[in-house]
């Protein structure tokens, strides 16, 4: 059985880029007769905005997207929330630590910025603390917990883009899985949840492809089987920049205030990705009924990055 998910972080309202990813992930799952889940990635509390978490399911329903499970089994009563699942992440951390796959790290960000070896766009951890064993307080501070990247070859099961592959120490390095302030890192929580929820495929934006090898390797280290991945189109503003909450990309409420309804948005998103020949007004269900899986995957593969015309993208995104 296909099991897929959409997992936004409520750090602001869902913007058009988020809605596009949600729509494509929903279509991709529904065309295969799969189970579609909604998970709110709300662990990093300082990043969250008041009201954003409650808006996610409301905005998705407005767009015409549904999901199949929630904390109340038997219907779409609500999304899963990572903040309610912390015990799973700490159990995984304990398992990795017992097996010697973690080490304490006391390097500051300033220190790492000065000595980290560059590797593409992301510097790799230089291994400064790999031999440390002091897990307790020092000068009133606890260490962060780093994953000891295993010396094995990783091939990401990516179905749309060129699949990343390589030896993990040189590919991703020793990433932090638990910060010094106690927050569990995104990579670990994601890997644990994919396993616990039985996720078999993940459709998400192409900007997350570089982080996928870490999650694949962690699932393997925790005894699971990684899902297959489809990293799809990103929407750009008029400056060629990826839409983002931090740059003022508009959310659903702003779109509605500008006079756009759900069929307008669905039609514009579908046309931008190449699923329609020209702009149309239609519901998500109507789009699904006239679509095939090969056409969806072909459109997402050739339209890796695209731009919407006519939709209000945000005050910082105007020409």
pLDDT one digit per residue (tens) for the chain, 319 residues: 999 999 999 988 888 889 999 999 999 999 999 999 999 999 988 888 888 889 999 999 999 999 997 665 445 567 899 999 999 999 999 999 999 999 999 998 776 765 444 444 568 899 999 999 999 999 889 999 999 999 999 999 999 999 999 999 999 999 999 999 999 999 999 999 999 999 999 999 998 999 899 999 999 999 999 999 999 988 877 666 676 666 556 778 888 888 889 999 999 899 989 898 877 899 999 999 999 999 999 999 865 566 665 665 554 444 3
| Residues 298 and 266 occupy one common structural domain | yes
Asked whether residue 247 is domain-assigned, the answer is yes
| Residues 58 and 100 occupy one common structural domain | no
Alpha-carbon span 221 to 200, nearest angstrom: 17
| Residues 59 and 192 occupy one common structural domain | no
* Best CA proximity match to 23, nearest among 255, 200, 232: 232
Asked whether residue 245 is domain-assigned, the answer is yes
| Residues 276 and 165 occupy one common structural domain | no
Alpha-carbon span 164 to 103, nearest angstrom: 26
DSSP E strand boundaries for 52-188:
80-81, 102-105, 144-147, 153-155, 165-167, 176-178
Asked whether residue 319 is domain-assigned, the answer is no
| Residues 12 and 73 occupy one common structural domain | yes
Asked whether residue 163 is domain-assigned, the answer is yes
| Residues 121 and 220 occupy one common structural domain | yes
Whether this prediction's pTM lies above 0.75 is answered by yes
Q: How many domains does the chain have?
A: 2
Q: How far is CA 173 from the centre of its chain?
A: 20
| pLDDT for 259 | 87
**Boundaries of domain holding 136:** 86-196+207-229
| Residues 141 and 182 occupy one common structural domain | yes
CATH number of the domain at 247, please. Answer: 3.40.50.620
| Residues 132 and 218 occupy one common structural domain | yes
Is residue 71 within 8 A of residue 80, CB to CB? The reply is yes
| pLDDT for 52 | 87
| Residues 48 and 68 occupy one common structural domain | yes
Residues with Cβ within 8 Å of 29's Cβ and at least 6 positions away in sequence, in order, are 2, 4, 35, 36, 201, 203
> Three-state secondary structure along 52-75?
HHHHHHHHHHHHCCCCCCCCCCCC
Residue 115: Cβ within 10 Å count? 12
| Residues 219 and 284 occupy one common structural domain | no
Where residue 182 falls (left for φ over 0; alpha for ψ -120 to 50; beta otherwise) is left
| pLDDT for 315 | 45
Is residue 27 within 8 A of residue 300, CB to CB? The reply is no
Asked whether residue 317 is domain-assigned, the answer is no
| Residues 49 and 142 occupy one common structural domain | no
300 SS3 class:
helix
Asked whether residue 314 is domain-assigned, the answer is no
| Residues 95 and 224 occupy one common structural domain | yes
Asked whether residue 169 is domain-assigned, the answer is yes
| pLDDT for 317 | 42
Is residue 213 within 8 A of residue 156, CB to CB? The reply is yes
DSSP 264: H
């Amino acid at each position: 059985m296909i099991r897929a998910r959409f997992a936004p972080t409520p750090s602001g309202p869902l913007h058009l880029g988020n809605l596009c990813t949600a729509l494509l992930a929903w279509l991709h799952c529904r065309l295969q007769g799969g189970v579609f889940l909604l998970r709110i990635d709300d662990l990093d509390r300082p990043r969250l905005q008041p009201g954003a978490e409650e808006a996610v399911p409301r905005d998705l329903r407005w767009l015409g997207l549904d999901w199949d499970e929630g904390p109340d089994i038997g219907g779409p009563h609500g999304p899963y929330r990572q903040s309610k699942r912390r015990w799973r992440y700490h159990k995984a951390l304990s398992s990795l630590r017992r097996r010697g796959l973690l080490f304490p790290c006391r390097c500051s960000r300033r220190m790492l910025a000065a000595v980290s070896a560059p590797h593409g766009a992301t510097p790799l951890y230089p291994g400064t603390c790999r031999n440390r064993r002091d897990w307790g307080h020092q000068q009133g501070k606890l260490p962060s917990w780093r994953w000891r990247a295993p010396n094995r070859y990783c091939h990401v099961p990516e179905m749309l883009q060129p699949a990343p592959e390589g030896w993990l120490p040189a590919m991703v390095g020793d990433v932090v899985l638990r910060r010094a302030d106690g927050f569990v890192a995104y990579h670990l929580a994601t890997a644990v949840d994919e396993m616990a929820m039985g996720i078999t495929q993940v459709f998400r934006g192409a900007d997350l492809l570089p982080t996928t090898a870490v999650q694949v390797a962690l699932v393997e280290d925790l005894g699971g089987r990684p899902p297959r991945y489809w990293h799809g189109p990103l929407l750009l503003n008029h400056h060629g920049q990826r839409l983002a909450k931090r740059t003022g990309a508009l959310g659903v409420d702003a779109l509605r205030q500008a006079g756009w309804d759900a069929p307008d948005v669905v039609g514009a998103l579908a046309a931008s990705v190449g699923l329609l020949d020209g702009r149309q007004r239609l519901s998500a269900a109507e789009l699904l009924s006239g679509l095939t899986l090969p056409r969806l995957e072909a459109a997402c593969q050739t339209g890796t990055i695209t731009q919407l015309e006519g939709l209000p993208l945000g005050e910082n995104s105007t020409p």
